[in-house]
Structures are given as structure tokens and as C-alpha cells.
């Protein structure tokens, strides 16, 4: 057995404490690159194979199918945007693309210094590690990048910092990108702040990141002082060059077998020998298919590029099986939550001379759309969660959910309320079948990219060769509203019932029964987000629509909470001690006891159309939302008394507001919220403009 640890397997197992008895599970989030909803056997490939239609090639994912059989499968899980950098930024920060500071194709831009999956779990006592692709560090400033993983809550990092490096799966040899090294610099693998590329001969990245992950997990499980751990394992495959491993995946898996970290320069991992980019899985080496739809003619061999794709996916599948065996060997399986997901829909790229299309395997599943599309095939990705004893085996979750839900989910699992800045809801009740799921009105997505949609015959004519440009999508209940090439806020959405029409073939926008839905979606498209000057939209300067059809009474509702909170929490997830109504916000603040908080919610009467500036300062922290848009975030890193200002364009009428205020353990409670607008200077928000709904 090759293992950098000198301990025997028996001693390793002995050193592992009874972590299965703890209340906080270990969490492993496996995030892969460009894997389509239809690429997993249990989601789509097994059905293609079972059809018996030889014109429909299929590949296998047995370990991932087993993961789903032993846990939960999300069939309506969405990414925030259909490209890796935006999708990953929203996942890491727990916000939609309407609030993330990394949007569109802003590769290597630094994510905000704010809450992340890692900072939240670190606060809960977790050891945190990130292995693999990062790409949100701060444009080509490695290793001292402003958003290096170690500066965003992670205790350990190993992998590619730059987005472009993830296009190459042999960092030392650079088989398909050596000619680009002059213009972009060599590919680099980093361990924390150190360049560790030099000894990585023949290290295929799926193998490399798996071996390093297994080593790191083993170190956590056998540490003298035990803490729960969180691992963000972000693979860079099957994206890009579709390079092949050097050899078969080592047998056995877990502590004794599978991929192992050797730690010897020139042979850092088990498979760092042989010839790079050569090994095809025997299941695919002789694979043939009916290329012309005529069973009477001889079948053709799979083209090389599709053998490569199937092998790349199978290698990820082997990695997952290896990790599960490790959890079992370390006796932490029942106290470990594993999530497997993809960052966006399938790509149309191979970076090889031979063209590649996701049509061959039907990687987009029963949907239209690919990577960079806001059709279902670009946004819905295969997501599985496994937690033995907690998640019932074979569970299928059809309720719409999204990547920004994982931060609140992990917070609840760790025993903490999510930060008020987070846009998602906890998925724990859906996963376990215990507790009452949080209610949510809709999911919001936005994205911009030049170019057109693929002209695939399998796609609906209206979805082919279509200008992308500015795009938005909103999922509300069973309806998905989508609009492409947006020119103004008044552009109509296409509306589809994706519960019965997942391919989005029947546009319901012209149905008089959905006229109200059209108006609602146009309003939500402005009420769910904040403009970002680095990702401009044609509707950024539109007025945020007021709400109509509600009756209201004077005063604002408040709820009082007591607790030692590490941040401004989403108080709606907690039980209040007292509640009532107040004429103004400030009258409830001065009498607070230490370690407490208030949540105010109501509607603000805006007198006329125009720009309104809100100015907030406090002793500890506060977060202000208007509708669902986060207007003022005075939480992470906030210094007492700092004035935070935000301007928003509001339509005359009623606008829902929610204010979360946290008072810390020392000092006097203090909260100032003022506003100015057309015709009036900065002033407190008076009683005559604050109301609450009877509903």
C-alpha cells in the first residue's frame, strides 16, 4: 500500500474518534465542471441504454448512481448562471447573481470579502479545505491574491487559482496548452501560497485532486484534536481538453486502495506513471453505435472525442466511489454529508482538433440548452446528496432549489442561523423529511454573453441559433419565465410550465390566463436584484415597481430575539421572544439588552417616482432589504458607527422593507436609518410612511 502516512490502516482506524456520534456532520461538496443534467446514469444515461436504441450512445456512472440510491436526487436544482465563474461565485457566497459581485464572464475577479460557505462553517468550529479549481481570486495576482481561498474562510487550499489553468488537466506536461504558456504563463498548482507544480509529473488533475482530498480528509479524521471538516472539492473536468488518464483507476478504494497520495517528487500520486493522455476505459474502447439510424448497416465506432468524454466522466465517478470507501474505512461515513453537483450545463467545447457536441450522449437530458443558455439544459444540473441515517435512501426532491441554498443549509446543519445577506433557504427539511420546509416565492437568474445558441436539430426551432445577449430567468412554482437578448425592462418573457413541459416547447405568454404572470415576472426582474456597474444591464436604471392590491395599516411590525449571534442573522429562521407593532423603527432600539436583535418588516410609502438614498449606521450590524434586493449590507467586517449608503430608483407607492438589526454583547444599542428623495433632504423614516400589511 502506497501512503504518505506511516501509520498502518489499523492504527488509522483506531485514531478516528466517534465522530459519527457528533451533531455536526463532516461536509464534502464535490463540484464538477460542465457536466450536464443528462450525463449521469440515474438522471438520463441509464434510460438511453435501456431504450435499446443503438442510435443513442450512453455511458455509465455506477458510483454516482449508487450515491443517488443511498441518498437524495434533486431533479429541479438550478445554478445561478450557466457558466463556471458566476455559478461558483454564487455558490460560495450564498447569493443570487442579482447580488453577487462576480457576474457574467468575469473570470478570476475577486469575490467580495464577505460571508462564504467556509467562513460560516469555520465560525461553527469546522476545519475548512478547498481543493481544485478556484478562479475567483483576483485576476492574475497569485499567490498574494485578494480573494485567495485562505482569505475567504478556508484553512487549506490545493489547486488551480487561475480559471484558465483549469483548461489543462496535466499541469506539468501541459499537453494541449504548452504553446500558450508564453502569453499566459505556465499552468500552476498552488498549495496555500506555494507553487507546487514542479514535482507533479504525469498527474492527471482528477486523480491529483482526489488523492490530495483523500490525504487531507484522512489527516482531519486522525487528528489528535477532532473537529468536523468541510471540503470544497472543485474538479476541473470534464471541461475543456478532454485529456485522458495515464492508466486504469487503482482498484480497492479508500485507505488501502484507490488513488493515494505518495508525496514523492515525480511520483506524487498512484497514477503518476505510464504515458499521459492514453488510457481509455474498456467499456468504451470498442464501443459502437448506429450512426445512420439504419440497423441494417454496420455500426461505427465512437469517435475518439466521445470516448474521451465518457472516460472523463467515468473517472469522476471512480473518484466518488473512492471517497465513499474512504469514509467507510475511517468510520465517519454515517457522519458525513456528501453533495455532488455540476457548475452549469454541458459544454459544446473540447479544445481538441476534433469537434465535440453534447448531442452525442444527450448530455442536456430532456431539456433544450447548454452551457451559457438560460434554457433548462443550461441551468438545471445533476445534484445528489448522501448522508447515511439522515437522508432516506432513494429520495427524489422535485421542489425547485438552487446553488445559493447550500449556505443556509450548511448553517442550519452546523447549528447557526444563516447570515441575513444570504438569498437562499435551508434544504435540510427537504433532505431529511423532517421539519417544515421554508417557503420561497421564486428563483432568480441573470447572465450576459455574446453569441448564439446551438443549432441542434434536437432543440426546438425557436431555441436554435438564437441571439443570447442579456438574459434573465425566473422560476416561480411550475412556471419558468425566460427572456433572451433583452433590450429593455418592458421586453416580454416567454413562460413555460416546466413541470409538464421540461423542453419548453409551449410558450404560455400569449395565453390571457397568464397575463398577470407576465406582469409579475417583469416586476420581479427589477425587485430581486441590484445593479452592478461592472456587469451593466439595459434595465439597471428602471424604477423598482411598487406593490399593489394589498391593504395596509400604520406602523411597522417587529420581532425581538435574544442570542449571541456571530453575524447579522436572518431572524426569520429563528423563534422570536416578543413581537408587536411600532410607529417607527428607532423607538424599539434603545431598550435592547446585550446579545439581541430586532427584525422589522412592513411597507414603505414612497411619495413619488425617483432616486432614493438610504443611509444606515449602527453599533454592531444590520442588513436592509427593499423587496428582495439587498440595499444595505452592514455586517461582515462592519465597524461601529460606519455610515453605509445606497441609492435605489423607486416607483411611487408601497415597497416592502425588511431590516435585520443585531446588537452585540457590549455598548449601547444604536441604529440610525435615514432617507432622502425627490423634494426632501436626508431625514429619519417617519411614522406617516411606515405601514404593514393585514395579510
User: Are the CB atoms for 64 and 42 separated by under 8 Å?
Assistant: yes
Q: Which helix (H) or strand (E) holds 261?
A: strand 261-264
Beta bridge partners of 409: none
Structural domain contains residue 543: no
Mean pLDDT of 428-450: 95
Distance of CA 227 to the CA centre of its chain: 25
Q: Extract the runs of DSSP E, i.e. beta strands, from 401-555.
A: 401-402, 443-452, 467-476, 479-483, 494-497, 552-554
| Residues 147-151: contacts with CB under 8 Å, at least 24 apart | 147/110, 147/111, 147/113, 148/193, 149/118, 150/192, 150/193, 151/113
Q: Are residues 427 and 488 in the same domain?
A: no
pLDDT band, residue 475 (cuts 50/70/90): very high
Dihedral sign, Cα of residue 462, residue 468, residue 471, residue 476: positive
pLDDT band, residue 184 (cuts 50/70/90): low
Among 466, 503, 502, residue whose Cα is nearest residue 485: 466
Q: Which one is predicted more confidently, 5 or 446?
A: 446
User: Are the CB atoms for 447 and 82 separated by under 8 Å?
Assistant: yes
Beta bridge partners of 33: 238
- pLDDT of residue 6 exceeding 50, the answer is no
User: From residue 405, how far is each of 169, 278, 392, 448 by CA, in Å?
Assistant: 30, 40, 20, 23
Structural domain contains residue 688: yes
User: Are the CB atoms for 210 and 107 separated by under 8 Å?
Assistant: no
Cα–Cα dist 626/631, whole Å: 6
pLDDT band, residue 143 (cuts 50/70/90): confident
Q: Are residues 607 and 655 in the same domain?
A: yes
Pairing of strands 610-618, 644-650: antiparallel
Q: Are residues 491 and 587 in the same domain?
A: no
Cα–Cα dist 370/116, whole Å: 28
User: Are the CB atoms for 180 and 165 separated by under 8 Å?
Assistant: no
Distance of CA 554 to the CA centre of its chain: 40
Q: Are residues 349 and 222 in the same domain?
A: yes
Helices (H), 82-134: 84-93, 117-123
Structural domain contains residue 259: yes
User: Are the CB atoms for 592 and 669 separated by under 8 Å?
Assistant: yes
Pairing of strands 467-476, 479-483: antiparallel
Q: What share of the chain is helix, strand, coil (3-state, %, to 5)?
A: 25, 25, 50
pLDDT band, residue 4 (cuts 50/70/90): very low
Name the phi and psi angles at 585, rounded to 5: -75, -45
pLDDT band, residue 552 (cuts 50/70/90): confident
pLDDT at residue number 170: 96
Task: Give the tens place of pLDDT for each residue, 265-303.
Answer: 999 999 999 999 999 999 999 999 999 999 999 999 999
Q: Could you tell me the residue range of the domain that residue 119 belongs to?
A: 9-16+29-374+387-432
Task: Give the tens place of pLDDT for each residue, 68-86.
Answer: 999 999 999 999 999 999 9
Q: Are residues 622 and 559 in the same domain?
A: yes
Mean pLDDT of 632-645: 97
- pLDDT of residue 15 exceeding 50, the answer is no
Last residue of a domain, one of 364, 399, 432: 432
pLDDT band, residue 551 (cuts 50/70/90): confident
Q: Are residues 478 and 423 in the same domain?
A: no
Q: Roughly how many angstroms between the first and final C-alpha of the chain, as a whole number? A: 66
pLDDT band, residue 20 (cuts 50/70/90): very low
User: From residue 73, how far is each of 237, 398, 406, 502, 600 by CA, in Å?
Assistant: 21, 9, 15, 17, 37
Cα–Cα dist 107/137, whole Å: 9
- pLDDT of residue 7 exceeding 80, the answer is no
pLDDT at residue number 141: 80
Structural domain contains residue 503: yes
- pLDDT of residue 5 exceeding 50, the answer is no
Q: Are residues 508 and 581 in the same domain?
A: no
Task: Give the tens place of pLDDT for each residue, 93-127.
Answer: 999 999 999 999 999 999 999 999 999 999 999 99
Neighbours of 436 (CB within 10 A): 6
Cα–Cα dist 569/417, whole Å: 6
Among 439, 486, 431, 402, residue whose Cα is nearest residue 100: 402
Task: Give the tens place of pLDDT for each residue, 506-539.
Answer: 999 999 999 999 999 999 999 999 999 999 999 9
Structural domain contains residue 510: yes
pLDDT at residue number 10: 38
pLDDT at residue number 478: 97
Q: Which one is predicted more confidently, 350 or 436?
A: 436
Cα–Cα dist 556/550, whole Å: 15
User: Are the CB atoms for 598 and 661 separated by under 8 Å?
Assistant: yes
Share of the chain above pLDDT 70, in %: 95
User: Are the CB atoms for 629 and 648 separated by under 8 Å?
Assistant: yes
Mean pLDDT of 487-492: 98
- Crossing angle of helices 62-69/304-329, nearest 10°? 50
Side-chain-side CA neighbours of 438 within 13 Å: the count stands at 19
- pLDDT of residue 350 exceeding 80, the answer is no
Q: Are residues 490 and 351 in the same domain?
A: no
Q: Are residues 228 and 164 in the same domain?
A: yes
Structural domain contains residue 171: yes
- pLDDT of residue 370 exceeding 60, the answer is yes
User: Are the CB atoms for 575 and 683 separated by under 8 Å?
Assistant: no
- pLDDT of residue 140 exceeding 90, the answer is no
Structural domain contains residue 537: no
Neighbours of 623 (CB within 10 A): 27
Q: Are residues 577 and 665 in the same domain?
A: yes
Cα–Cα dist 263/279, whole Å: 23
Structural domain contains residue 483: yes
The torsion region of residue 637 among left (phi > 0), alpha (psi -120 to 50) and beta comes to: left
Among 90, 229, 214, 208, residue whose Cα is nearest residue 160: 208
For residues 584-622, b (16+ Cβ closer than 10 Å) or e, as one string?
Answer: bbeebbeebeebbbbbbbbbbbbeeeeebebbbbbbbbb
pLDDT band, residue 17 (cuts 50/70/90): very low
- pLDDT of residue 590 exceeding 90, the answer is no
Tell me if residue 314 falls in helix, strand or coil. helix
Specify the CATH number for the domain of residue 298: 3.40.720.10
Side-chain-side CA neighbours of 574 within 13 Å: the count stands at 27
Specify the CATH number for the domain of residue 673: 2.60.120.1560
pLDDT at residue number 312: 97
* pLDDT averaged over every residue in the chain: 94
User: How many domains does the chain divide into?
Assistant: 3
pLDDT band, residue 179 (cuts 50/70/90): low
pLDDT at residue number 1: 36
pLDDT band, residue 359 (cuts 50/70/90): very high
Q: Are residues 466 and 360 in the same domain?
A: no
pLDDT at residue number 9: 36
Q: Are residues 271 and 315 in the same domain?
A: yes
Specify the CATH number for the domain of residue 503: 3.30.1120
Share of the chain above pLDDT 90, in %: 89
pLDDT band, residue 174 (cuts 50/70/90): confident
Q: Which one is predicted more confidently, 217 or 591?
A: 217
Dihedral sign, Cα of residue 464, residue 465, residue 467, residue 471: positive
Amino acid at each position: 500500500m502506497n501512503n504518505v502516512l506511516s501509520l498502518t490502516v489499523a492504527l488509522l482506524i483506531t485514531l478516528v474518534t466517534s465522530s459519527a456520534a457528533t451533531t455536526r456532520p463532516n461536509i464534502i461538496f464535490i463540484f464538477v465542471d460542465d457536466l450536464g443534467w443528462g450525463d449521469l446514469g440515474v438522471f438520463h444515461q441509464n434510460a438511453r441504454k435501456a431504450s435499446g436504441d443503438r442510435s443513442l450512445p450512453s455511458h455509465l456512472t455506477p458510483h454516482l448512481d449508487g450515491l443517488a440510491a443511498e441518498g437524495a436526487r434533486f431533479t429541479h436544482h438550478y445554478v445561478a448562471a450557466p457558466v463556471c465563474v458566476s455559478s461558483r461565485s454564487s455558490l460560495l457566497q450564498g447569493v443570487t447573481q442579482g447580488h453577487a459581485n462576480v457576474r457574467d464572464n468575469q473570470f478570476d475577479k475577486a469575490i467580495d470579502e464577505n460571508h462564504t460557505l467556509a467562513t460560516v462553517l469555520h465560525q461553527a468550529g469546522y476545519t475548512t479545505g478547498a481543493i481544485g479549481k478556484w478562479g475567483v481570486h483576483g485576476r492574475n495576482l497569485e499567490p498574494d491574491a485578494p480573494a485567495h481561498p485562505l482569505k475567504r474562510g478556508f484553512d487549506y487550499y490545493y489547486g488551480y487559482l487561475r480559471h484558465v489553468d483549469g483548461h489543462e488537466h496535466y499541469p506539468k506536461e501541459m499537453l494541449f496548452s504548452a504553446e500558450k504558456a508564453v502569453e499566459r504563463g505556465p499552468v500552476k498548482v498552488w498549495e496555500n501560497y506555494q507553487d507546487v507544480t514542479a514535482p507533479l509529473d504525469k498527474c492527471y488533475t482528477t486523480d491529483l485532486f482526489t488523492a490530495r482530498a483523500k490525504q487531507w480528509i484522512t489527516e482531519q479524521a486522525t487528528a489528535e484534536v477532532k473537529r468536523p471538516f468541510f471540503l470544497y472539492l472543485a474538479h476541473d473536468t470534464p471541461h475543456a481538453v478532454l485529456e485522458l488518464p495515464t492508466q486504469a483507476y487503482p482498484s480497492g478504494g479508500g485507505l488501502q486502495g484507490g488513488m493515494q497520495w505518495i508525496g514523492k517528487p515525480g511520483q506524487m500520486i498512484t497514477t503518476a506513471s505510464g504515458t499521459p493522455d492514453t488510457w481509455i476505459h474498456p467499456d468504451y474502447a470498442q464501443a459502437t453505435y448506429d450512426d445512420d439510424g439504419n440497423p441494417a448497416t454496420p455500426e461505427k465506432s465512437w469517435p475518439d472525442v466521445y470516448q474521451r468524454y465518457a472516460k472523463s466522466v467515468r473517472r469522476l465517478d471512480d473518484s466518488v466511489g473512492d471517497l465513499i470507501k474512504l469514509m467507510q474505512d475511517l468510520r465517519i461515513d454515517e457522519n458525513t454529508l456528501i453533495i455532488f453537483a455540476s457548475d452549469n450545463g454541458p459544454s459544446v467545447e473540447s479544445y481538441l482538433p476534433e469537434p465535440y457536441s453534447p448531442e452525442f450522449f444527450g448530455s442536456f437530458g430532456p431539456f433544450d440548452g447548454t452551457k451559457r443558455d438560460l434554457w433548462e439544459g443550461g441551468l438545471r444540473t445533476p445534484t445528489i446528496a448522501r448522508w447515511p441515517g439522515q437522508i432516506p435512501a432513494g429520495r427524489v426532491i422535485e421542489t425547485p432549489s438552487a446553488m445559493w441554498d447550500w449556505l443556509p443549509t450548511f448553517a442550519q446543519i452546523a447549528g447557526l442561523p444563516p447570515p441575513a445577506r444570504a438569498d437562499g433557504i435551508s434544504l435540510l427539511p427537504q433532505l431529511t423529511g423532517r421539519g417544515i420546509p421554508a417557503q420561497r416565492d421564486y428563483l432568480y437568474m441573470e447572465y450576459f454573453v455574446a453569441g448564439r445558441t446551438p443549432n441542434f436539430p434536437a432543440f426546438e426551432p425557436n431555441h436554435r441559433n438564437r441571439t443570447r445577449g442579456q438574459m434573465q430567468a425566473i422560476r416561480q412554482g411550475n412556471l419558468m419565465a425566460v427572456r433572451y437578448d433583452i433590450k429593455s425592462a418592458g421586453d416580454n418573457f416567454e413562460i413555460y410550465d416546466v413541470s409538464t413541459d421540461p423542453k419548453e416547447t409551449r410558450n404560455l405568454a400569449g395565453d390571457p390566463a397568464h397575463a398577470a404572470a407576465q406582469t409579475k415576472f417583469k416586476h420581479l426582474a427589477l425587485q430581486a436584484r441590484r445593479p452592478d456597474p461592472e456587469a451593466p444591464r439595459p434595465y439597471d436604471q428602471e424604477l423598482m415597481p411598487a406593490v399593489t392590491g394589498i391593504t395596509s395599516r400604520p406602523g411597522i411590525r417587529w420581532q425581538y430575539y435574544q442570542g449571541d449571534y456571530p453575524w447579522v442573522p436572518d431572524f426569520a429562521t429563528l423563534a422570536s421572544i416578543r413581537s408587536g407593532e411600532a410607529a417607527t423603527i428607532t423607538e424599539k432600539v434603545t431598550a435592547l439588552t446585550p446579545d439581541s436583535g430586532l427584525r422589522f418588516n412592513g411597507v414603505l410609502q414612497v411619495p413619488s417616482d425617483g432616486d432614493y438614498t438610504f443611509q444606515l449606521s449602527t453599533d454592531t450590524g444590520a442588513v436592509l432589504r427593499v423587496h428582495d434586493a439587498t440595499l444595505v449590507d452592514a455586517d461582515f467586517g462592519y465597524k461601529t458607527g460606519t455610515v453605509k449608503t445606497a441609492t435605489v430608483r423607486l416607483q411611487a407607492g408601497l415597497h416592502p422593507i425588511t431590516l435585520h438589526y443585531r446588537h452585540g454583547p457590549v455598548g449601547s444599542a444604536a441604529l440610525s436609518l435615514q432617507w432622502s428623495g425627490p423634494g426632501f433632504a436626508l431625514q429619519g423614516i417617519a411614522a406617516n410612511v411606515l405601514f404593514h400589511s393585514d395579510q
